[in-house]
Structures are given as structure tokens and as C-alpha cells.
Amino acid sequence: MEYKLSWWEDEYLLKDVDYTILGAGIVGLSTAIELKLIAPQAKVLIIDKKTYPVGASTKNAGFACFGSISEILDDIETFGEDLCHRLIAMRWRGLEILRSRVSAQAMDYQGRPGIEIFPKDEEALYHSKIPNINDQIEYILGEKQCFSIREGRYGNETVNRLEGCLNPQKMMAHLELEARKLGVIFLQGVEVSKILESNSELITNFGSIFYNKLIVCTNGFTKRILGEVDVQSARNQVIVTSPIKGFSLDGCYHMNKGYVYFRELGSRLILGGGRHLALEEEITDELDNTSKIISYLTTLAETKILAGENIKIEKMWSGILGVGKDKMPLVKKVNDNVFIAVRMGGMGVAIGSYVGRVMASILLENDNRDLQLFVRS
């Protein structure tokens, strides 16, 4: 049976929409909020295939971070110092925007140090790099002595004093509430199967929807609707244990160049990553868990993180990242009416609010310091 809109629905939802955003994750919501803040009269519509985001915005481990020592060094080696510096600056700026928009209490934000642990035979190498990285962080962010070394639970640990953690579900709920307060319209449960650029039409399970300016913010799911885009899906898997008596951690832990991460969650351990063990297999947008990764995470928890404890896995899930040839977000005009803001590189919590501001600045041709930071190269 064909679904027909009432006159009221058609007027409110679909008529005279200035900006149609695909994806209600952190980038889609941030773009919508920025558009309404700069141009309150604009009609902004967000379309999402589910009643809540299913990519990574609410599926991550809640780290508010910009990079560990090994990840920063790996990025410098792989992509060059300039690109790495810009990424750090953009992530930091994104966290500033997010924390100004959503209160710490509203999203359970806590300033907790980012702590990295290494195999014994790698400690000396990475620790020797700290003075140089501290100089670079001071140059980029103006923050002195970001990294230090301490004797901790897992030996000699590197400590990033500028990081923290939050509840991503609460973060997203408050961003959505802010968007709705500003007058952003939501059309949820609508899946776009094709974009017909020739006549500015979206083919959906809701019927045809026509757009004026379209902004694609679907990150890891983008290739489903825009095939010729340099963004790949990458699955990250996460486990949470049952409560463990007496267990606590004072920081947010990183291992293996950012590929493994863990922290305490109300006397539970939340542990995610392991994608480096199966890079090809994890290039997917399927939200399954796999025995290979879950077994690795469970073994790591039992033998290193919680050695000697009797643990039980209470919950597991996966999230879909958007990655590409480098870690720079892809924020650009595709044609006169279609724009994309994707490829968060696994750092959506940090960089997503910044990317939303950049996208709005491009759409409204509004020059500001955030846009300049992005385009300078």
C-alpha cells in the first residue's frame, strides 16, 4: 500500500527545504545546528534510516581524545607532520565546540588522563619521544607539558593530561534536543537507496524526496549511496564486562597506535578495538561481532588488563567508522547541490562538531577561523 502524506505533513516535512542532511550522527546534527545558528530562517531537514544513529556516534567507547603518543608518531610517519598537526588542532577544536554546546553534566564528561601502555621492549623508544611531542603539542595547542611518564597499574605509562571521557548516548541526545529547539526537522526511519543528481531527487522507502542543497553525513555508510567517494567502512568491536568488585581505573587507556582502548565504566571494563588483527575483514558496514576479535579482546582482558580476575562479558556490539587514504575528514562540494562531510577516521567524538561547523561555513560561504584551519595546506 502506498503511503500518502497529509497536506500538513507535506507542508511541514518536505516543502521549501533549504538544506537536507542525510545522517543524524554527530556530524549531521552539528551541521544542522551550525546552519540554524548562522541562518535561523533556513529550513533544515535531517533524514536518517533509523530512529537513532547506528554508525559510530553512539557505538563508540566514549573517549574524548585527540591521539596517543604512538598514534601521533605513526600519523607523522605515515602522513607527514603538517597533516598530523592539523588533525590534532581540529580534534581539539571539535572538543571545545562540543563542550561549549553540551554541558559536562549533561553528557557525563569527566576529565581523565589519556594513558598509553607499551610492551616492555618498546617503552624506552616511545618515552624518548615525549619531549619532542610535547614541544609540538605546545606549538599546536598552546598547552605545555601535555605528556609525561608515571609508574602506574601497568608499569611505566605515558599520560596525556588533556583527555577525558563521556557518555556518547547522552551527548547525542542533547545534540538532537538542541537541534530540535533551533527548529531542525527530523524525518527518521527513512532509508535513501539512491541519489538522482540530475533532478535533485532522493529515492527512499518513503517515496521520492526532492532537495535543494543536500549534505551527506553518513560517514562509514556513504558508499551505499555515493559510490565514487574516498571513504571506506571500518568496523570496530566493543565489549563490556559485568561489574568487578573493587575495580577502577583513573584514566582512558590506549594501546597499539590507537587500535585498542579501554576504561572503567562503573566498576565494569569497557574494551574495544582489535581491528589491526583483521584489517581486510573489518572493511565492512555490517554490524556483526566476530569470534576472532571478541576472542582477542576477551583474552586481553583476562590476561593483562584484569589478570587474576574472574570476568564475564555482559554486552558486545560494533560500530562503523569512516576511513580513507589519510585521516583528514572529507568535507567538500560534490556539485552545485550536493555536499559531503564524511571520513572521521575513528575520531568522530572529537572532530565531529568541528566538521559540522566547517560544512556549514562552506554552505553559507561564511569565512571564519575554523574554516581557515581546515582549508590551509
Domain limits of the chain?
18-59+169-231+326-375, 113-162, 232-323
**Coil, helix or strand at residue 291:** helix
Residue 369 predicted with pLDDT over 80: no
Please tell me the distance from the alpha carbon of residue 262 to that of residue 268, in angstroms, as a whole number: 10
- In sign, the C-alpha dihedral spanning 215, 217, 218, 219 is positive
**C-alpha 314, offset from chain centre:** 24
Q: Among 24-28, 168-172, 368-372, which is the least confidently predicted range?
A: 368-372
Q: Among 32-46, 95-109, 124-138, 219-233, which is the least confidently predicted range?
A: 219-233
Q: Cβ of 167: how many Cβ atoms within 10 Å?
A: 16
Contact 105, 158 (CB under 8 A): no
Contact 258, 67 (CB under 8 A): yes
Please tell me the distance from the alpha carbon of residue 36 to that of residue 357, in angstroms, as a whole number: 11
Q: Which residues are registered as beta bridge partners of 187?
A: 47
Residue 2 predicted with pLDDT over 90: no
Residue 71 predicted with pLDDT over 90: yes
Residue 3's pLDDT band (cuts 50, 70, 90): low
Residue 375 predicted with pLDDT over 70: no
Residue 370 predicted with pLDDT over 80: no
Q: What's the full length of the chain, in residues?
A: 377
- Please tell me the predicted confidence (pLDDT) of residue 376: 45
Residue 372 predicted with pLDDT over 80: no
Contact 44, 18 (CB under 8 A): yes
Residue 377 predicted with pLDDT over 70: no
Please tell me the distance from the alpha carbon of residue 200 to that of residue 194, in angstroms, as a whole number: 11
Residue 177 predicted with pLDDT over 80: yes
pTM: predicted TM-score of the whole model, two decimal places: 0.95
Contact 314, 298 (CB under 8 A): no
Mean pLDDT in the chain? 93
State pLDDT tens for residues 299-331: 999 999 999 888 999 999 999 999 998 899 999
Per-residue buried b or exposed e for 210-219, using 16+ beta carbons within 10 Å of the residue's own CB: ebebbbbbbb
Higher pLDDT, 287 or 3: 287
CATH code matching the domain that covers 18-59+169-231+326-375, chosen among 3.40.50.2300, 3.40.50.620, 3.50.50.60, 1.10.3720.10: 3.50.50.60
Report whether CATH 3.30.70.20 matches the domain 232-323.
Answer: no
CA angle in degrees (0–180, nearest 5) for 118-122-124 = 105
Contact 239, 44 (CB under 8 A): no
- Please tell me the predicted confidence (pLDDT) of residue 293: 97
Residue 227's pLDDT band (cuts 50, 70, 90): confident
Q: Which set of grid coordinates corresponds to residue 56? A: 559510530
**C-alpha 35, offset from chain centre:** 20
Residue 286 predicted with pLDDT over 50: yes
**C-alpha 164, offset from chain centre:** 15
